[in-house]
Amino acid sequence: MNDPLPQKLQEEIIRLVEGSLHDELTQDESEELSRLVASSPDINHFYRACLWDATNIRTWAGGGLRPSEALAESEASHPVSLPRAAWSVFDWHSHPLRLAYFAAAVLLGVCGGYWGTRFSPRSDAHRGDVASATSGPIARLVGVDLPDWDGFSPPINTGINAGQKLVLKSGVAELRYNSGAEVVLQGPVEFWVGSQPGSVNSGYLKVGKLVAQCETPESKGFTIRTEKSRVVDLGTRFGVEVQPSGELNVVVLSGVVELLSSESIEDRPADPVRLTANQAATMDGEVGVVSLHDPDNHSHALSIRRLWQSRPRDQTTVSLSAAELVAHWTFDGNVKDSVGVHHGNVSGDVSFVPGRLGQAAAFDGDGDFIVMGADPLPRTDFTLAAWVSMDEMSTTEAYIAGAQKSSVAGAFLRVEPNLTLMAKVLPNDNVIIEAASSARKCVIGQWTHVAMTVSRVNGLKLYFNGGLVGSGDAGKSHVVAGNFTIARRPDPVQIGGSNCYWSGKIDDVAVWDGALTANELELVMRLGAGRFSEFSATKEK
Amino acid sequence: MVEIGDSPRAAESDRTLEFIRLLGNEERRLYAYILALVPRWSDADDIAQQTRIRLWQQFDQYDSSRDFGAWARTIAHYLVLAHRKKSEREGSRMTNEFLDAVAEQFTQDIDEVEVRQRNLLICLQKLSAGHRELLKRYYSGLEDRRDIAADVGRSFDSVRQTVRRLRLSLVRCVDGLAMAEASSE
């Protein structure tokens, strides 16, 4: 047998096979099944395995096979320990051919009345119950990323009382419990701080996604409850996602958690499913069927990992920026400077199209550009950043933004004919300091965030999608050219008969008085220049 | 054919017994083969029945030195093609590439049918009683599946989705046991 098929593909084949067996497929679906099976020996094998199992199940269902005899005959000799409970785990990591995969199946029988009732706070009454049972905040909001709250909208560092419902329509928010447990919520999400009266080390996730980390002794046992389950931390980092359908996904990034179902099918307590690092499980929203799967390939696991890696707490560790946004062109339907007086004048037929953030300015590469009346770039200690997307390669340099007078003055960003990014500053007459992204190239049709900083201390630095890709120590300042231009070489000098026009889109062009750090530029990339400035201002308060 | 008994009647009886024995040994694999080529219960059942009849009718032509299973699958394949020809008139479902790929791979993995059967029985025991019962009712063919859904108080789509999940878990469980066996050898 070869490596397992991706879970989504397995699910699709099962769906098609079951539909085919019961004559429920459309002709298109039948042809899709036929095509899939013929396309790959692995799919062919999985397909036949599904049918063989179906045959055997039907025979068993008709009384033709007797499980007890088969068990008595073969269970003892199997090297895989098969627990008594209605779930089982098969760790493919242990197999030499499956080192990269974890594929298993867990079937979880659940108990009636094990916890008495479901965990869901039935209404806002829950909030009152919990609040009255626990005095004072049990958690604090320590970070946000573009949060769009519905209802309660706490600022950073707000203490959160037990029972408080948080509804995040979009964006990310991070909580830190007094116990030390940290929870990152990603909207859309509905979450209660404290899952039941008196509980100060738990939360209730109605719908949405979160990642929790529990590294302190006090946070051990931190519990995330959902409508039909309870995920208990045993010293770890894990993610939980509840779909609107009720399907539960749990991913363990490190450590161990126990997953318990609250639903009842049989009259006995459910055995907890213990998940360890790099294991992931999906629990059916209706009957508590849990399947373990390969977290490396599973979209839920990947999104959980991404959420943790991009948690907003990182933002609070960014030192307050001394830089001030002095010019910002959002290109949301116009070329106005949203923070200053450097409004643009359009040449050619620049249009406004859906961009990276709102709208972007679109240039056809043939006479379209925007020029500002004055130069917003300070002589030194400044930052220039933008989102750019090229429509086609240029035989000459393609200018993004900046100022230039021949080889005597200016500072600018452009893309070279080989698609590398270039930043240049001219600190003195005929002295040109440059930084190039030799290892990173723009991709036609893809958005790239570009930025250059110039400072007396660190010289010229060039950033490509938030990462430092080039520098020029001697680029500590520039001679002011006074002709700040977007999408064309600023001066009239032609290269190969061309004014080096930009063909494609440009968005969110911004100039700061001050050199932003790499962390700050990463935030600019994630939040946008305007939101970054709001964020910095909020922190300063 | 060599006569085994001491009279024509006894010989015929012996041939009948031999046919039943051979077919009995092969029937599960034969049905699996047919179902893989025609993945619809009703059609596979029909073709399996036609195959049994044809095998019996042509048993005189069977060379006992040959693999009965291979001979039976050849006849079954012929009937599958005939069925497909008829289906084409009603709107073809499966392509030649599909049939060729499945038939070719089947012969390579033929022993897996038996292994999966044994392991499936083990994995069925890992289900909760409720899920086992649901699966049994769903697959027994004795009840309308919509009636089963109504009986357990759930929508048909919901029950169908649960069965798919159970099926996926069982496939993985069976695969896991097979791999564990392979790694211990």
ipTM confidence: 0.89
Q: Is A208 left (phi over 0), alpha (psi -120 to 50) or beta?
A: left
Out of B92, B108, B124, a domain closes at: B108
A171 close to A105: Cβ distance less than 8 angstroms: no
Percent of the residues in chain B that have a pLDDT greater than 90, as a whole number: 11
Last residue in a domain, options B108, B141, B175: B108
H or E element in which residue A421 lies? strand A420-428
pLDDT tens per residue, range A242-275: 888 778 888 888 888 888 776 443 344 456 778 8
The DSSP annotation for A122-175 comes to: -STHHHHHHHHHS-SEEEEEEEEEEEEESS--PPTT-EEETT-EEEEEEEEEEE
pLDDT given for residue A334 in this prediction: 94
Q: What is the pLDDT of residue A374?
A: 78
Rounded distance between C-alpha atoms, residue A273 and residue A89, angstroms: 9
Same domain, yes or no, for B16 and B90? Answer: yes
Task: Name residues 60-119 of chain B within 8 A of A (Cβ).
Answer: 91, 93-95, 97-98, 100-102, 105-106, 109, 112-113, 116-118
- The alpha helices in A266-374, defined as continuous H runs, are 299-309, 313-316
In a domain, B2, yes or no: no
Residues B153 and B124 in one domain: yes
Q: How many CB atoms lie within 10 A of CB B182?
A: 12
Q: Is residue B1 domain-resident?
A: no
User: Would you call A79 and B181 a contact, using CB atoms and an 8 Å cutoff?
Assistant: yes
B3 is a domain residue: no
pLDDT per residue as tens digits for the range B27-84: 888 998 999 999 988 889 989 988 988 898 888 888 888 889 999 999 999 999 888 8
Q: Using a CB-CB distance cutoff of 8 angstroms, which residues of chain B are in contact with residue A93?
A: none
Same domain as B163, residue B130: yes
HSE at residue A44, side-chain half, CA atoms within 13 A, is 20
**Whether B100 and B117 share a structural domain:** no
User: What totals of helices (H) and strands (E) does chain B contain, helices first?
Assistant: 8, 0
Spans in chain A with pLDDT lower than 50:
1, 67-134, 263-269, 287, 297, 313-320, 537-541
Amino acid at site A346:
V
- Residue A405 to residues A346, A409, A481, A493: CA-CA distances in angstroms? 20, 5, 6, 9
pLDDT at B116: 86
User: Would B157 be classed as within a structural domain?
Assistant: yes
**Pair B84, B18 in one domain:** yes
- Partners of A455 in the β-ladder: A459
Put simply, whether B152 touches A (Cβ < 8 Å) is no
**CA A111 from centroid of its chain's CA atoms:** 36
Confidence (pLDDT) at A389? 95
Q: Find out whether A331 and A355 touch, Cβ atoms under 8 Å.
A: yes
Average pLDDT over all residues of chain A: 76
Whether B22 and B54 share a structural domain: yes
Dig out the tokens for A278 from the structure.
Answer: 């790099």
Give me the CATH number covering residue B102.
1.10.1740
The CA distances from residue A89 to A84, A256, A290, in Å, are 12, 15, 10
Domain with B103 in it: 8-108
Residues B122 and B173 occupy one common structural domain: yes
Q: Do B183 and A104 touch (CB under 8 A)?
A: no
Q: Confirm whether B75 is domain-assigned.
A: yes
Confidence (pLDDT) at A91: 27
Q: Are residues B119 and B49 in the same domain?
A: no
Q: Cβ–Cβ contacts within 10 Å for residue B143, how many? A: 11
- Spatial separation of the C-alpha atoms in residues A251 and A255, rounded to whole Å: 11
Cβ distance of B168 and A14 shorter than 8 Å? yes
End-of-domain residue from the set B86, B108, B130: B108
**Contact at 8 Å (CB) between A478 and A383?**
no
Contact between A68 and A45 under an 8 Å Cβ cutoff? The reply is no
Question: Do B133 and B51 share a structural domain?
Answer: no
Inter-chain residue contact B94 with A78, CB threshold 8 Å: no
How far CA A366 is from CA of A299, A487, A493, A499, B38, in Å, comes to 43, 10, 16, 9, 60
Cβ–Cβ gap A66/B121 under 8 Å: yes
What pLDDT does residue B94 have?
Answer: 73
H/E element, A27: helix A27-39
For residues A220 and A214, give the distance between their C-alpha atoms in angstroms, rounded to a whole number: 6
For testing the chain B interface, which of A53, A228, A261 should be mutated: the one with the most B CBs within 10 Å? A53
Task: Answer yes or no: do B93 and B117 share one domain.
Answer: no
Mean pLDDT of chain B: 82
* CB-CB under 8 Å, B123 with A79: no
Domain count, chain B: 2
Please give the residue of chain A at the shortest CA–CA distance from B95.
A34
Q: Is A472 helix (H, G, I), strand (E, B) or coil?
A: strand
Considering the domain boundaries, does residue B92 fall inside one? yes
Residue-wise pLDDT for A502-536, tens only, equals 999 999 999 998 899 887 888 788 778 887 776 55
Question: How far is Cα A49 from Cα B178, in angstroms, rounded to an integer?
Answer: 12
Are B102 and B126 found together in one domain?
no
Confidence at residue A221, expressed as pLDDT on a 0 to 100 scale: 85
Hey, how many other C-beta atoms are within 10 angstroms of the C-beta on A237? 20
Residue of higher predicted confidence among A2 and B140: B140
CATH of the domain at B161: 1.10.10.10
Chain B hits for A48, CB-CB cut-off 8 Å, are: 32, 36, 102, 105-106, 109
Q: B172, B155, B69, B52: which is closest to B120 by C-alpha? A: B172
Q: Do B177 and B124 share a structural domain?
A: yes
Predicted confidence at residue A396, as pLDDT, reads 86
- Rounded Cα distance, A173 and A142, in Å: 8
